[in-house]
Structure 1
Amino acid sequence: MDDTAHRTATPDLTPSHRPDPYDGAAEARWVPEPDKRPGRTAFQRDRARVLHSAALRRLAGTTQVVAPMRSDFPRTRLTHSLECAQVGRELGAALGCDPDLVETGCLAHDIGHPPFGHTGEEALDQAAESCGGFEGNAQSLRILTRLEPKRFAPLDEAPARLAPWPGRSVGLNLSRAALDAATKYPWTRGAHPTDPGSTKYGVYADDLPVFRWLRAGSPPDRKCFEATVMDWSDDVAYSTHDVEDGLQAGHIDPEALRSPAERAELFKVAERYAPDAPPEELSEALDRLHAQPWWPAAYDGSARARAGLKDLTSQLIGRFCLAAEQATRARYGPGRLTRYAAELVVPREVRLECAVLKAVAVRYVMQRDEQEQLRSRQRIVIAELAEALTRRAPEGLDVVFAARYEEAEDDCAALRAVIDQIATLTDASALALHARLVGPAART
């Protein structure tokens, strides 16, 4: 989110010349439906649907950094999504977005993550190679528009855009703007606009009809403003909270971050988040954080130290969000910033501070030997589960996915039904199903 890139990519629209941001097209739904409770906005309905969905609740049992069953108070994908939503709602509102819309995008942004987090995502991508791969963001769109049973297309007189799926599930049937706000990577596999080798994408081939609908009238490959707010809120939430968790667990020693040798290793990790930044610039970013009065010199687990950690998180979130708000306002001026009239501007210095925090969490929490051993076992569980279910299907599949498997028109669609089944599991239910179909796994 480099501010220079955003300055050159964004049209110069003054507030007085910006169109109505949330018109009928933004509020439209894939399948039209009346509101049962007049007086609510379309985006309030969207937020309620995501909050009440089984797919969101499932994230309580899905790994964020530490597996849910390995600590009494771990951050899970659900708590991360809630924290991201709180950050995004306030930042979006400060910039003129509909707060319910931004919150919906934040709540839904990780809803497609499978058991074991990114480890499960990588294992499922390998298992799904012959049917187009697996990506958590593309799975999010699939859940929102197909897998979460809330609304169905009519059997008769279905809109032409729904052919050939009359009567099929259309998921939560969110508004166009809400689906767009949850879309972090608006392109297909291998179509990243600036990095062809990127593994990130937001839609599978068989979900292109609804994707084209939700993106109708949007600039190609460009995220809407609400999605850029969601994206930065995601970065802010997990970079700050993962460091907080690492300090509290004793995995991060603040004093070690002053060691030249440790810094050299840390900045190698940071290259994945800031490939254009030399070590000297990353060192300056870390020094700026060290110079803050709220940066911890040590952590001993006392009540005062715990309060200090909470203040650290609060200060970092405020620092990162305020910087983005001020830089964006400096670029666009006052007024409502929504949809495609603007892009969030994140100053480079702040982006690098966030990148360093991500690297701290990766190096001292995720790269610990025990964590890598755990991830290795988790990859095996997912691979063996995919093989067992594919061999035995439709046996072993839930009723919904068994029906999809039997209705599949080809082997690709049949495999996708198996992959969808696995992706809906929590960490614990994946282990339980693996034990039933394959046998007890090594301790995970």
Structure 2
Amino acid sequence: MQSGADDAARFVAEAAKDTGYGRSPYERDRARVLHSAAFRRLAAKTQVHTAGTDDFLRTRLTHSLEVAQIAREMGARLGCDPDVVDTAGLAHDLGHPPFGHNGEDALDVLAESCGGFEGNAQTLRVLTRLEAKVYAPDGGSAGLNLTRAALDAVSKYPWPRRPGRRKYGVYADDRPVFDWLRAGSPAGERRCLEAQVMDWADDVAYSVHDVEDGIHGGYVSLRPLLADEAERRALCADVAAAYSGEAPEDLGGVLDEVLADPALAPLAAYDGSHRSLAALKATTSVLTGRFVAGVVAATQERHGPGPHRRYAADLVVPRRIGAECALLKGIALRYVMRRPGAGPRYARQQEILAELVAALLDRAPDALDPVFAPLWRDAPDDPARLRVVIDQVASLTDPAALAWHTRLVRPG
């Protein structure tokens, strides 16, 4: 396990700053992410529902703020540095492109010849290269130049791209900084505790809040699940295939208990009124608290009261809590992401991104932002130039991607 000094090291050494505030290196990390352009752009990037379609619904920005809050509270209970887990929560989605996971899938296909596209690997690239903050002595960008502990905490998938594994955390040409941030960690692909805390906070926020948004938006109703056994079986099959190692029949028993839980009754009774909205919010608080407290207690039961940080412990998610969380994620998947009419919209989004990448490849570097045009000129070959175009498109918000497409592909 690394020492505290190694944890606080930065890839590019920086002179000490004396601002009178006495901030820790990790407080500086948090501030750098919070004030970054990439973080601001999350306000107009899709979470599950299309960004900007409803003032109530979450975007990548509000989701990231919620993940950071949950991670900070959970990490503090375990003994992690709260600013490290907070920074990881704020930063974990910086690499996501326009149109959410649908955009991620589209760019992965388009980027095949330069190594693919993955939102988590793109996040590392944003933090260590694309965001403007610090330059190395050799003239290369070091991005936000966060500490080793913060970058490691953002690494949900600390391994490179491999056949058969959709998720990974680093592209081939970002290996130097990745190898540096992983230096001193235990052998293999083990994640530090802060990354595990952030990942669970992400799951909690995603599962609870996306169901809340779906209920408020009228896409999700628990009534079919309460009334139809076949529908419950179909949901459990979806969850087993997408989110859980549990068998559908085992998930079915957990689902029956969840649907019978009086604390969740407001989910089925929501009618849009002020009182029902308050009850819905109370239910999301109960679920979030349950998922956090259960995992903290299980982790402390296995590893002791702590404090725990870095590689001193692994997060323990009890089987029942993991199944409940997966079922909620499955509800959002089945009734929001796969709702009737969604298919043509997803196909059109992928078409827009494909046409936009083609147009930029044809018209670069003139059509690129001033940030990316020099990178195109310096790129040594076609795969490297394609990566610059992918970086450009991934940086766009949903509205910007549509506007760029209109300007470059369908002018007039």
| Normalised TM-score (structure 1) | 0.89
Task: Name 1:201's counterpart in structure 2.
Answer: 168
Task: Name 1:222's counterpart in structure 2.
Answer: 190
Task: Name 1:10's counterpart in structure 2.
Answer: none
Task: Name 1:311's counterpart in structure 2.
Answer: 282
What is the alpha-carbon distance in structure 1 between the residues aligned to residue 289 and residue 79 of structure 2? 18
Task: Name 1:9's counterpart in structure 2.
Answer: none
* Range moving further from structure 2, 286-295 or 348-357: 286-295
SS in structure 2 opposite 1:431?
Answer: helix
Residue of 329, 343, 360 corresponding to 1:358: 329
Structure 1 pair 167–423 and aligned structure 2 pair: CA distance change class (3 A): same
Task: Name 2:101's counterpart in structure 1.
Answer: 118
What is the alpha-carbon distance in structure 1 between the residues aligned to residue 148 and residue 125 of structure 2? 14
Alignment RMSD, CA only?
1.4
Task: Name 2:251's counterpart in structure 1.
Answer: 282
Task: Name 2:11's counterpart in structure 1.
Answer: 30
Residue of 272, 284, 294 corresponding to 1:301: 272
Are 1:70 and 2:49 matched, yes or no? Answer: no
Matches within 5 A, 1:14-53: 23-33=4-14, 34-37=16-19, 39-53=22-36
Matches within 5 A, 1:79-158: 79-154=62-137
CA contact (8 A) 1:393 1:405 kept: yes
Structure 1 residue 237: deviation in Å? 0.3
Are 1:179 and 2:151 matched, yes or no? Answer: yes
Residue of 368, 377, 385 corresponding to 1:397: 368
* Range moving further from structure 2, 62-71 or 316-325: 62-71
Structure 1 residue 36: deviation in Å? 4.1
Are 1:239 and 2:207 matched, yes or no? Answer: yes
Residue of 198, 207, 211 corresponding to 2:178: 211
* Superimposed CA distance per residue, residues 381-410 of structure 1 (whole angstroms, 9 cap, x where no aligned partner): 000000110111112101111100000111
CA contact (8 A) 1:294 1:308 kept: no
* Superimposed CA distance per residue, residues 119-164 of structure 1 (whole angstroms, 9 cap, x where no aligned partner): 111111111110001100000000000000000012xxxxxxxxxx
Kindly tell me the number of residue pairs found equivalent between the two proteins: 406
SS in structure 2 opposite 1:439?
Answer: coil
* Superimposed CA distance per residue, residues 241-266 of structure 1 (whole angstroms, 9 cap, x where no aligned partner): 01101111122222211220111211
What is the alpha-carbon distance in structure 2 between the residues aligned to residue 260 and residue 35 of structure 1? 63
Task: Name 1:163's counterpart in structure 2.
Answer: none
* Range moving further from structure 2, 222-231 or 258-267: 258-267
Question: Counterpart of 1:321 in structure 2: which amino acid?
Answer: V
Are 1:261 and 2:230 matched, yes or no? Answer: yes
Task: Name 2:312's counterpart in structure 1.
Answer: 341
Question: Counterpart of 1:56 in structure 2: which amino acid?
Answer: F
| Normalised TM-score (structure 2) | 0.96
CA contact (8 A) 2:160 2:171 kept: yes
What is the alpha-carbon distance in structure 2 between the residues aligned to residue 273 and residue 338 of structure 1? 30
Structure 1 residue 274: deviation in Å? 4.3
CA contact (8 A) 1:185 1:200 kept: yes
Structure 1 residue 299: deviation in Å? 1.5
Question: Counterpart of 1:170 in structure 2: which amino acid?
Answer: A
CA contact (8 A) 2:244 2:326 kept: no
CA contact (8 A) 2:91 2:123 kept: yes
What is the alpha-carbon distance in structure 1 between the residues aligned to residue 12 and residue 409 of structure 2? 41
Structure 1 residue 74: deviation in Å? 2.1
* Range moving further from structure 2, 227-236 or 264-273: 264-273
Task: Name 1:8's counterpart in structure 2.
Answer: none
What is the alpha-carbon distance in structure 2 between the residues aligned to residue 181 and residue 57 of structure 1? 21
Task: Structure 2 unaligned segments of length 5 or more: list them.
Answer: none
Structure 1 pair 22–294 and aligned structure 2 pair: CA distance change class (3 A): farther
* Range moving further from structure 2, 260-269 or 130-139: 260-269
Structure 1 residue 287: deviation in Å? 2.3
Structure 1 residue 43: deviation in Å? 0.4
CA contact (8 A) 1:151 1:173 kept: yes
Question: Counterpart of 2:170 in structure 1: which amino acid?
Answer: V
Structure 1 residue 22: deviation in Å? 5.8
CA contact (8 A) 1:153 1:170 kept: yes
Question: Counterpart of 1:263 in structure 2: which amino acid?
Answer: R
What is the alpha-carbon distance in structure 1 between the residues aligned to residue 178 and residue 99 of structure 2? 27
Structure 1 residue 275: deviation in Å? 4.4
CA contact (8 A) 1:105 1:181 kept: yes
What is the alpha-carbon distance in structure 2 between the residues aligned to residue 309 and residue 289 of structure 1? 15
What is the alpha-carbon distance in structure 1 between the residues aligned to residue 278 and residue 202 of structure 2? 23
What is the alpha-carbon distance in structure 1 between the residues aligned to residue 344 and residue 53 of structure 2? 14
